[in-house]
Amino acid sequence: MNARRVIIDVDVGTDDAVAILLFLEADKLGEIKIEAFICTKGNASLDNVCRNLVRLLEYADRTDIPVFRGSFHQILPLQNTHSVFHGNDGFGDLKYQEEPDLNIIKKDIASVGMQNIVSKNPGEISLICLGPLTNAAITMRMFDDFSRNLKDMYIMGGNIHGVGNTTQSAEFNFFIDPEAASIVFDCAQCPIYLLPWETCKSSTITFKWRYEVLGKMGGKLWKLIDSAEKSVYGEPTKQEIWMPCDAFLALSFLHPQKAVVKSRKEHVSIELHGRKTRGQAVLDHLSQNQANAVLIEEVNNTLMKEILMRACQNV
Amino acid sequence: MNARRVIIDVDVGTDDAVAILLFLEADKLGEIKIEAFICTKGNASLDNVCRNLVRLLEYADRTDIPVFRGSFHQILPLQNTHSVFHGNDGFGDLKYQEEPDLNIIKKDIASVGMQNIVSKNPGEISLICLGPLTNAAITMRMFDDFSRNLKDMYIMGGNIHGVGNTTQSAEFNFFIDPEAASIVFDCAQCPIYLLPWETCKSSTITFKWRYEVLGKMGGKLWKLIDSAEKSVYGEPTKQEIWMPCDAFLALSFLHPQKAVVKSRKEHVSIELHGRKTRGQAVLDHLSQNQANAVLIEEVNNTLMKEILMRACQNV
Amino acid sequence: MNARRVIIDVDVGTDDAVAILLFLEADKLGEIKIEAFICTKGNASLDNVCRNLVRLLEYADRTDIPVFRGSFHQILPLQNTHSVFHGNDGFGDLKYQEEPDLNIIKKDIASVGMQNIVSKNPGEISLICLGPLTNAAITMRMFDDFSRNLKDMYIMGGNIHGVGNTTQSAEFNFFIDPEAASIVFDCAQCPIYLLPWETCKSSTITFKWRYEVLGKMGGKLWKLIDSAEKSVYGEPTKQEIWMPCDAFLALSFLHPQKAVVKSRKEHVSIELHGRKTRGQAVLDHLSQNQANAVLIEEVNNTLMKEILMRACQNV
Amino acid sequence: MNARRVIIDVDVGTDDAVAILLFLEADKLGEIKIEAFICTKGNASLDNVCRNLVRLLEYADRTDIPVFRGSFHQILPLQNTHSVFHGNDGFGDLKYQEEPDLNIIKKDIASVGMQNIVSKNPGEISLICLGPLTNAAITMRMFDDFSRNLKDMYIMGGNIHGVGNTTQSAEFNFFIDPEAASIVFDCAQCPIYLLPWETCKSSTITFKWRYEVLGKMGGKLWKLIDSAEKSVYGEPTKQEIWMPCDAFLALSFLHPQKAVVKSRKEHVSIELHGRKTRGQAVLDHLSQNQANAVLIEEVNNTLMKEILMRACQNV
Ligand SMILES: [Ca+2]
Ligand SMILES: [Ca+2]
Ligand SMILES: [Ca+2]
Ligand SMILES: [Ca+2]
């Protein structure tokens, strides 16, 4: 089988980093070919996302993969912010001896870069979205054929039962740019696979395992990620369950048959106007609209651990 | 033990009727004392709700219980409507030989009637709400001490996972008057027990049992309700599961120990401003507010059947 | 000609006080008969509005006029507040030797009190609204025939060009209870005369005249009001133009022929859901709806001064 | 003086055509240099706007000016539509013998085309917006320095007193893409000149003059525009006043000293969330924000007629 081709949109972020590690290993194994990375504001400012990503690629010796810089802002100025959950720099505020070389970043803006790749390879490229959907949405607005030429989209974000993690009822990626999420779900002309917050919350992987088993392993890249996560989360006893959201999505993409234990088709749209529910994913419980997304409801946590152990050694 | 004292707010409605039957039996058994009925627009116009309720009381020979007429309209004119799900008259559009005698309805408006009873019996009265919360809310706005003097409120309505039955994400009673629901949950100064739509959806009682077993039983009142429901739902095969929502709430009130299998405390508020989520109940998933309601998540369906069989014979 | 009969709904407030002075003089002259005062939360808490009003009536020796207490809260809890523009007590925080005797306030709640008067005198009573429309709206919701039995309503509030004084685009009375304003304009079944904020802003009466001419005059009631206003506004040079909003409405009601220089019919509704425009009055610039209000656009300022000078001496 | 350099964003539209005629004459006179035209969906579909614009340029013999195609869609799918006020094709649905040659349209998408011109000429280019602000906004979101490099923006759209022409309170260009308007006014880092709907409504130019004087004149381009307008408006007696909105903006840009009779600085933002006011321009009447726009309140109608007569002959 040919390697599946992907563009990966990230807002690194420690869980993005774990996902990137899984993708880099799959690329090394020839399972996928990473055509480009896209930097999106979210877990950090755009500048820091670029810095965090390029550093990860330098540690992995993969600065050959094209990197594009996305929009400096979310679509609307209402949420003109990024999270500091993963530290001020989005990656644990570690001290480094050298700055990453940002000159490797392409001159073309992300939308143009993505459109060039996708329009030349219609039906071939999967777009993996690990952060707010700003760049995916803007590219869809600029280029009418962009989403039609995608093979599919894999998205981490939103919710299925109205369970929020940033507001009462909104998940971070969708809350940060609800208009972008709305554009994607209302207008995408390709299949969408969505891994929502509730699926992450159902993780059974303990921080104890994460620290005592996975934390003891690994090559250069994993050790960097491990340090960043430890800086973010501190002592393992503080939090019971480890929820590497983006890594769950990576697993679901890389091993769809074995990783996705339960899924269902639904029509998903985004509430933009509520005072309490802005950014909430709304399912069509009246079944008046055709399904536009496959919701990944349950992921194989045992497989997750196996793949993580292998990848942490391997990359 | 003394009989528990209740005011029952209804928008009859065939499932209201089943609940009323359960309450009338409990009153007959001395378990409760029904202090008043309140008529609320919802499953039918206010006039038809009055007509349906008084007819039920006539069939049950209980026109001694005070009946008050509520507001002609929901708080805002936006949803100035009632449902026709239960027929144009809200009760299966049956033909009758005689009109009910509406002169038994009290001259005082519902808010004044409720306040008079509750203020004279502070801490004694449970308010049972089987329809939109219009009258409960208006009374709370008019009389500052009303909800403080209530023992508690039992409410059928809303949702816990954003599952709607009238819009994608809103349940009928809350959607019809979201402002009223918002006033109740934001301002009530008494305990609230909420039985949401998802709990009704988890019913395991089949229409087959409803028609073939329960449908064969009963006295004069049950036969009337049975005819109305059959007129609304038609042939049993059409719908698999019978969901008498208001009756589930009645059961939960009458037999709290045995009927409520699973419940939890949550902070509930109502989205008023969303385009897709207006009327949705929003849970505080960030736990920033103190719980204001006990959500009844699972009801004992076996007990429901037992109580129904007894009540249908008994009243 | 018979005296025109009025119920006056106030949230006293110094400009309410000036209006009340005009109304009391007109009552003394036999031009009007004040059937009742209604106390509404707005410029002060409900308690302070009651206190301020009763004190004014005591100073004017008119405690024979029935006073009713309105709702403790606006319809929605969102704006659960009152203004402190006119001082913490809504009346300049003056020191008094005696407390007003609040026992004169009727036991019936405002809605019941108003409905009793209006239903017994259909087509006879004008309702004058000088504060938020909370009580007018709740009474309309409780009693279906209330507004149909009114002769007309005179309202100070809202805007015609989106000029706000409390938010960018909302006027105080409408912003404090937008749902109430929405109910009144969507559902009232009697003529409405609306004097909006922009009309007050077009006042040409200077503080200089107010202080140096009007401030030198008057009997006991006016001296009290004068002190309260001076406590609120301080030195005359601070503000150029005096805008006694409620008094402009009083003048428009008392002398419709001479006072109202310019008016036009419009369809008015209230925005409830905007983030920037909640509480704004919206005119139907597409003329798709029938007019529901007469907008008073310009008032005779010379007449205002004449009437004020006479009333200040006279009451 | 050097020619002022402009990019003109159009949604042709008969009033866009009149404006284009004025701009083409000014370019011919050496007063301005048109660097590019941008096609925006609005008065017609994107395809028809392209067709209408290229045809106008062919009639004027100016296909040397670069033309860029903008986004196929407004930012949000909520208003996924264009107007048919100016005919199904946005230009009077005339019959033509030949199709315009769309091959002259540049391959680069509008955002990239604009950014290339503007970034190479910082501080030199005025962006003239005669339609919805979709492309201006998307370009601002994609390229952080775009608006900073503009000399200024001239925009026809919105309102100052809440007077709508498409909804009760929203003007067409802003209503079609309120999110785009919001991005522009919240984020632009250059001066903005706004000519709102109320200024167009204050036009004193009659259709009688338009038809009987201006209609008798002109060269090839004007005769085409004249035919299209007559097809849209029909007989002159039907409408009293002619309101060529975009042409008023063109005049204000071309002759700022003489054309703009009255203007003022204001802070303008856009309501996105209202049910009645979505798309309304909101002025900061509390003066809490710094002004971000010059509102053109009154235009010299006599000058308009003079310039029109000259341009119609001249181009
Ligand atoms: Ca991420
Ligand atoms: Ca019911
Ligand atoms: Ca007032
Ligand atoms: Ca235009």
Chain C positions touching B77 (Cβ under 8 A) are 182-183, 186-187
How close, in Å, is residue D77 to chain C by CA atoms? 19
Q: If pLDDT is split at 50, 70 and 90, which confidence band does D1 have? A: low
Q: What is the Cα–Cα distance from B231 to B225, expressed in whole angstroms?
A: 10
Q: What is the pLDDT of residues C106-143, one digit of tens each?
A: 999 999 999 999 999 999 999 999 999 999 999 999 99
Q: Is D13 left (phi over 0), alpha (psi -120 to 50) or beta?
A: left
Give the helix/strand (H/E) hosting D131: none
CATH assignment of D4-314? 3.90.245.10
Q: Which ligand is nearest to the CA of B40?
A: 2
In chain A, where do the E strands start and end? 4-10, 32-39, 67-69, 125-129, 150-156, 192-195, 260-266, 268-270, 281-283, 293-299
Domain positions in chain C = 4-314
Q: Is the pLDDT of residue C198 over 90?
A: yes
Q: What is the pLDDT of residues C294-306, one digit of tens each?
A: 999 999 999 999 9
Chain A positions touching B284 (Cβ under 8 A) are 168
- A243 C-alpha vs ligand 4 centroid, how far in Å? 51
pLDDT at A1: 61
Q: Please give the mean pLDDT across all residues of chain C.
A: 95
Q: What is the Cα–Cα distance from D186 to D197, expressed in whole angstroms?
A: 20
How far is C-alpha C274 from the geometric centre of its chain's CA atoms? Answer: 26
pLDDT at C209: 93
State the chains in contact with A (3 or more Cβ–Cβ pairs under 8 Å).
B, D
Q: Is the pLDDT of residue D238 over 90?
A: no
The mean pLDDT value for D124-146 works out to 97
pLDDT at A111: 97
Of A162, A276, A284, the CB nearest to B269: A276
The mean pLDDT value for D275-282 works out to 97
Say if the Cβ atoms of D77 and A187 lie within 8 Å. yes
Number of Cβ pairs < 8 A linking chain B and chain C: 56
Q: What is the pLDDT of residues C46-60, one digit of tens each?
A: 999 999 999 999 999
Q: Which ligand is nearest to the CA of C247?
A: 3
How close, in Å, is residue A71 to chain D by CA atoms? 5
Integer CA distances (angstroms), B308 to B53, B222, B305, in order: 19, 10, 5
Phi, psi (deg, nearest 5) at residue C197: -55, -40
Tokens at residue B209, please? 């049992």
- A130 C-alpha vs ligand 1 centroid, how far in Å? 4
How close, in Å, is residue A184 to chain D by CA atoms? 10
* 3-state SS assignment for residue A158: coil
Say if the Cβ atoms of A271 and B269 lie within 8 Å. no
Say if the Cβ atoms of A283 and B168 lie within 8 Å. yes
ipTM field: 0.95
* 3-state SS assignment for residue B270: strand
Say if the Cβ atoms of D141 and A272 lie within 8 Å. no
How close, in Å, is residue A7 to chain B by CA atoms? 32
* 3-state SS assignment for residue A198: helix
Q: What is the Cα–Cα distance from B36 to B67, expressed in whole angstroms?
A: 6
Greatest pairwise CA separation for chain B in angstroms: 57
Say if the Cβ atoms of C76 and B179 lie within 8 Å. yes
Q: What is the Cα–Cα distance from D73 to D89, expressed in whole angstroms?
A: 17
Name residues of chain A where pLDDT drops below 70.
1, 78-80, 236-239
Of A77, A112, A144, the CB nearest to D183: A77
pLDDT at C80: 60
* 3-state SS assignment for residue D44: coil
The mean pLDDT value for D130-156 works out to 97
- C231 C-alpha vs ligand 2 centroid, how far in Å? 55
- C172 C-alpha vs ligand 3 centroid, how far in Å? 9
* 3-state SS assignment for residue A64: coil
pLDDT at B84: 81
Q: By CA distance, what is C276's nearest residue in D?
A: D271
Chain B positions touching A284 (Cβ under 8 A) are 168
Name residues of chain B where pLDDT drops below 70.
1, 78-80, 236-239
Q: Is the pLDDT of residue C311 over 60?
A: yes
pTM of this structure: 0.95
Mutate to test the interface with D, among C167, C267, C270, C271 (most CBs of D within 10 A): C271
Mutate to test the interface with B, among C39, C40, C72, C76 (most CBs of B within 10 A): C76
State the chains in contact with B (3 or more Cβ–Cβ pairs under 8 Å).
A, C
pLDDT at B233: 86
- C273 C-alpha vs ligand 3 centroid, how far in Å? 24
Is residue A56 packed enough to be buried (19+ CB in 10 Å), middle (13-18) or exposed (0-12)?
A: buried
What residues of A act catalytically?
A: 11
Q: What is the pLDDT of residues C65-81, one digit of tens each?
A: 999 999 989 999 766 67
Mutate to test the interface with B, among C142, C186, C270 (most CBs of B within 10 A): C142
- B11 C-alpha vs ligand 2 centroid, how far in Å? 5
Say if the Cβ atoms of A76 and D183 lie within 8 Å. yes
